[in-house]
Structure 1
Amino acid sequence: MTPASLPAHAQVADELQALEASLDPSELHGSLCGYVSGGGKHDRAGWFAAVMSDPLVSTPAADGALDQLYQASTAQLESPDFGFELLLPEGDRPVSERGDALLAWCRGFLGGFGLAAGANPPLSEESGEALADMARIASSDLSYEEPEADAEALEEVSEFVRVAVMLLHSDCVLGPRHRRKLN
């Protein structure tokens, strides 16, 4: 069974613009995934307010791009098939746009993760290193001089981030859930 698909980056951008939320779609997805991976309490109606740290934020429209983003992201993180994806601009967009979006995604993830997991999350040594690496990626200053090589490097870094997120979600959400079932 394949987890639900993410909406297109442009669809999320359009819905955020309609809500007058000046937030990058990739950063929002990173925040959502960080919040969920850090063990934050969430549901379909309240996730946007929780991630935005603003209880007055309206609930996204049912079946809109933001609702689809939430449903697909939570399904992908819970999937045993490792089908988790990052919401980044489409592959035909310039590598500089996709690279900047990846950095925004990582910044969002770190903020959402910190918000949910707190100061001392239950991380394995490997997860702790992955989180530190994500922080280094988020604070990177990219230059784009060789588009072909840069695109290849971007794919590798994106894959690292994708696997790191699944590892962090496993440590902070799946591991504690399984331990509770055993007790």
Structure 2
Amino acid sequence: MPSPNAPDLPAFAALEAEIRALALAVTVPELHGGLCGWLAGGGAASPEWPGNVLADAGLPAVKAGSALDELGQASAAQLADRSFEFELLLPDADASLSERSGALFDWCRGFLGGFGLAAGATPALSEDSSEALADLARLAAAQPQDDGDEEDEEALVELEEFVRVAALLLHGDCVMAAQHRQRFN
């Protein structure tokens, strides 16, 4: 759960409906991952974020109060919130292991794309962040598992937590550290 300081993410179904209405060729997790990567890499949390994240200048700005607007605002607030209560927007736990693992890998693919667009080819990263980015790339290339047992379920939960912390670490290096440096100059 996000802290009282950070807003909740919008409903998965509401985002799916907006994505369909705009005829975007992305899943909800991939779009959220792309947005979070964009923000973690230093991209602006503006109403034009979908066009920036999807590298399509023809996309309209999000409408105030829409699910995409809520997604942008909540994601930016959660990443910046010092309570580290950032959430990944993924299917609920009652979805199949295949669906949930596929969504996590989609989220990672989106994150890498958005991060690369915002941070550029050679961002100044700590050793830990560089390793985290490489691990996210490996997850982005992974394929979902059809079925699994309790160990596979536990492994997926651990991967989700790793991805969440990796996104916060990268945001810390690219955004939070830069903001702190500006305060001291």
TM-score range, shorter chain: over 0.9
Runs of 4+ in 1 over 6 A off after TM superposition: none
Aligned AA (1:63)? G
Cα distance between partner residues in 2 of 1:135 and 1:111: 10
Query: What is the CA RMSD across the aligned residues, in angstroms?
Result: 1.2
- Percent identical pairs in the alignment equals 51
Residue 36 of structure 2 is aligned to residue 33 of structure 1: yes
Cα distance between partner residues in 1 of 2:5 and 2:93: 21
TM-score by length of 2: 0.94
Residue 26 of structure 2 is aligned to residue 23 of structure 1: yes
* Match of residue 8 from structure 2: 5
* Match of residue 59 from structure 1: 61
Aligned AA (1:175)? A
Q: Contact (CA 8 Å) 1:10, 1:89: kept in 2 or not?
A: no
Q: Contact (CA 8 Å) 2:18, 2:67: kept in 1 or not?
A: yes
User: Mean alpha-carbon deviation: is it higher for 63-72 or for 144-153?
Assistant: 144-153
When the two structures are aligned, how many residues end up with a matched partner? 182
Q: Which secondary structure state, in structure 1, belongs to the residue aligned with residue 95 of structure 2?
A: coil
* Match of residue 121 from structure 2: 119
Cα distance between partner residues in 1 of 2:113 and 2:152: 26
Gaps of 5+ in 1: none
Aligned AA (1:64)? S
Gaps of 5+ in 2: none
Q: Contact (CA 8 Å) 1:9, 1:87: kept in 2 or not?
A: yes
TM-score by length of 1: 0.95
* Match of residue 144 from structure 1: 146
